[in-house]
Amino acid sequence: MRNIDIIYINGAFVTPHGHETAELINPATEAVIGHVRLGDREDTLRAIAAAKQAWPAYARTSKAERIALLHRLHDAVLARADDINAATTEEYGGPVSRAAWVGAYAAKSFLLAAQTLQDYSLTRQIGSAQVVMEPVGVAGLITPWNSNAGFICNKLATALAAGCTVVIKPSEMSAIQTQVVTEALHSAGLPPGLFNIVNGRGDVVGAELSRHPDIAKISFTGSTAVGKTIQRAGADTLKRVTLELGGKSPTVILDDADFATALPLAVTAGFQNSGQACIAGTRILVPEHRLDEAIALARAAVERTQVGEPKDPQTQIGPMVSRKQWERVQSYIRVGVAEGAQLITGGEGLPAGIHAGFYVRPTLFAHVRNDMRIAREEIFGPVLCIITYRNEEDAIAIANDTDYGLQAIVLSGSDEHARAVGAQLRAGRVLINGLHHEPLAPFGGFKQSGIGREFGAFGLEAYLEPKSVIA
């Protein structure tokens, strides 16, 4: 049983002023595995004050000093990678096949930020002006539960690279991961106040960060609804915001694609991170004259997907993170049936042979219209929709007919053809014929999938303000 009753302020682990506690539950077993004591407004104010005090000196550090510090953080987090992986499985239900890389991935953020800073010109000449990119100030970083360690490290790495000090509000459901990451970061021995970490509720700690005048910028990853709340709360102080929000990403399978590989790939794209991924490709678009073929191939792929114990290396889909999330997915399965979509496989209830844990049956709907709720709203579980299109123009229109715009995948027999269709899609990332990743390319959403970008130079600039010095 873990009892996490400390937060991190001004370089030290301290007992929170707040007294509220929250249970930590292993979603694979439903057992209570610990408790976390939550910080309150007072704790948040202390953390903001510490970051504010540390900022002026840190903002004056050189590129070389910041790069050295980022390397120290990388080494410190990498040394605890196995513990981060284990916490992800225990607390989040992340299958080991995925959890095996989350610690190293989190650590790598610091190297990527160091490389980005190294390659970035903080001053440049524009006509008679010398333009200096200055750190924006103290940043508030708010993370979700679906990749807590990764988001803490990436946001922190970028903010520190830019010369910002920070207060981090991690997901309150990820306190074990947060604890391991905080211990690792502390062991790097940075000057006090550069980063402060306050466990707590979103509507308490997150809300205070979002409105406090000493917070210049919020970088938030989470739901679109909370993203809007944060932007409203920050309006009075005109906070800079980076909002990485939800998605309802299309996988567009063109008529010339090899369906035998395209459909399984589309299913994999939809089931990433047990379906709890902002980038999950949850709308599979197929030509209407090949619907039966597409359904048969997708159904076989869904039914091959192994659901179960996250510690089993064969497992592809673990439990949902919480009972609330399990119930949300169940309710969307009921909505799909009620809306008249055809349930091809899966459905309500626990998978066969499983009697405890927040497991859902991987579910596939066909005959889905793009105006149904299951096609429009983010479900955040392994529930996929097959939607038909008449021709390519129709496919592009359906793909773009969404409030979201985080990612799109185009599958075709020719990269050129896929690129031509991809050029017409309104999404922050378009993947051509595969599940590709480029860690230094900007990541973020069009439309209600967010504001701003993370990673690489675009991510760094989100923590910088240009100052024109004209002589």
43 binds ligand NAD (CB under 6 A): no
Residue closer to ligand NAD by CB (options 40, 309) is 40
Give Cβ neighbours of residue 127 (< 8 Å, ≥ 6 apart).
Answer: none
Beta-strand pair 407-411/249-253: parallel
Residue closer to ligand NAD by CB (options 244, 461) is 244
List the helix and strand counts (H, then E) for the chain: 15, 21
Residue closer to ligand NAD by CB (options 145, 389) is 145
The one among 172, 326, 361, 422 contacting ligand NAD by CB under 6 A = 172
The one among 88, 143, 182, 402 contacting ligand NAD by CB under 6 A = 143
Structure tokens at 114: 């160091």
Pick the stretch among 10-18, 154-162, 241-249, 348-356 that binds ligand NAD (CB under 6 A).
241-249
The one among 246, 318, 319, 382 contacting ligand NAD by CB under 6 A = 246
The one among 40, 90, 309, 378 contacting ligand NAD by CB under 6 A = 378
The one among 92, 145, 271, 463 contacting ligand NAD by CB under 6 A = 145
Let me know the angle formed at the C-alpha of 336 by 451 and 223, rounded to the nearest 5 degrees.
20
Residue 40, Cα to own-chain centre: how many angstroms?
A: 25
384 binds ligand NAD (CB under 6 A): no
Give the residue from 119, 105, 187, 115 showing the smallest Cα distance to 149. Answer: 105
The one among 26, 171, 363, 388 contacting ligand NAD by CB under 6 A = 171
Give the residue from 79, 275, 87 showing the smallest Cα distance to 173. Answer: 87
Residue closer to ligand NAD by CB (options 114, 279) is 279
Which residues within the stretch 91-110 sit at the binding site for ligand NAD (CB under 6 A)? none
Backbone torsions φ then ψ of 253, nearest 5 degrees? -100, 115
Residue nearest to ligand NAD (CB): 202
- The reply to whether 244 belongs to the active site is yes
144 binds ligand NAD (CB under 6 A): yes
Alpha carbon separation from 331 to 21, 289, 335, 380 (Å, rounded): 28, 31, 6, 12
Alpha carbon separation from 447 to 300, 439, 468 (Å, rounded): 34, 22, 30
Residue closer to ligand NAD by CB (options 237, 342) is 237
Q: What sign has the CA pseudo-torsion 214, 220, 8, 31?
A: positive
3-class state of residue 175 by DSSP: helix
> Which candidate in 91, 153, 208, 278 is catalytic?
278
245 binds ligand NAD (CB under 6 A): yes
Give the residue from 381, 341, 344, 387 showing the smallest Cα distance to 364. Answer: 344
Residue closer to ligand NAD by CB (options 96, 142) is 142
**Is there a contact between 38 and 172 (Cβ–Cβ < 8 Å)?**
yes
Q: Which helix (H) or strand (E) holds 180?
A: helix 175-187
Neighbours of 190 (CB within 10 A): 18
The one among 9, 51, 161, 207 contacting ligand NAD by CB under 6 A = 207
380 binds ligand NAD (CB under 6 A): yes
Beta-strand pair 32-37/21-25: antiparallel
The one among 6, 278, 294, 307 contacting ligand NAD by CB under 6 A = 278
Which residues within the stretch 116-135 sit at the binding site for ligand NAD (CB under 6 A)? none
206 binds ligand NAD (CB under 6 A): yes
177 binds ligand NAD (CB under 6 A): no
Strand arrangement, sheet containing 464-470: 123-126, 129-135, 464-470
- The reply to whether 461 belongs to the active site is no
Interface mask toward ligand NAD for 147-166; x: CB under 6 A:
x-------------------
CB of 409 to ligand NAD, least distance (A): 16
Structure tokens at 47: 């953390």
CB of 425 to ligand NAD, least distance (A): 17
Could you give the CA distance from residue 167 to residue 76 in angstroms, rounded to a whole number?
19
Which chain residues interact with ligand NAD by CB under 6 A?
Answer: 142-147, 169, 171-172, 202-203, 206-207, 210, 221-223, 226, 229-230, 244-247, 278, 378, 380, 406, 445, 450
Which active-site residues does the annotation give?
Answer: 244, 278
